[in-house]
Chains A and B, each alone.
Chain A
């Protein structure tokens, strides 16, 4: 596609429910990142994929969070048993290749509200 696409754009869920957030990166981009942006805060790194593998999962806040990427393309971030502190905007970005010089392109984000 033309850009990084995330869905849904907004999600309201009840505390304790599971949610799935989807990211469709730019075609051909092998690197994919998930970040979390809480209100008024910076970008919190969650996980990074190179192809289908995740060499860096260090940012996942707890074992309730998991992510996968299939076919080197679409990625899904799953949050189990959601808590109110999970409320944030979840951003996905993709980048071409492994090189350090290429820029990352961001999606519009999914705004998650846990009530």
Chain B
């Protein structure tokens, strides 16, 4: 079945550091890929998505590129802020069931 493997957390970085959260997937079809974010005390919300190979999703300074050859969708940000502290979930949709990774807790220190 479909699966998503995420970088184990927690991750702690200093403000303005470069962030990478790794995500790889296994799917039989041609999934769409998503990153969801859960800020403290809030519900899950979509951060960005990519619907086909080589697409790049971006939002709030975060980026992720759909790499079919490596079955990856790594999340990156060039300079993190304290307000980016949250739990990040990688997910795939192929084509109906939405499968999530285990989540990565990110803490940014001023």
Contact = CB atoms under 8 A, between A and B. Distances in A.
Same complex: yes
Interface of A: 31, 33, 35, 41-43, 45, 48, 50, 55-56, 91, 93, 95, 98-101, 103-109
A45 B99 contact: yes
Interface of B: 30-32, 34, 36, 42-46, 49, 51, 89, 93-103
Contacts of B99: 45
26 contacts: A33-B98, A41-B103, A42-B89, A42-B100, A42-B101, A42-B102, A42-B103, A43-B89, A43-B100, A45-B97, A56-B96, A56-B97, A93-B44, A93-B98, A95-B98, A100-B30, A100-B93, A100-B94, A100-B96, A101-B32, A103-B46, A104-B98, A106-B36, A106-B45, A107-B43, A108-B42
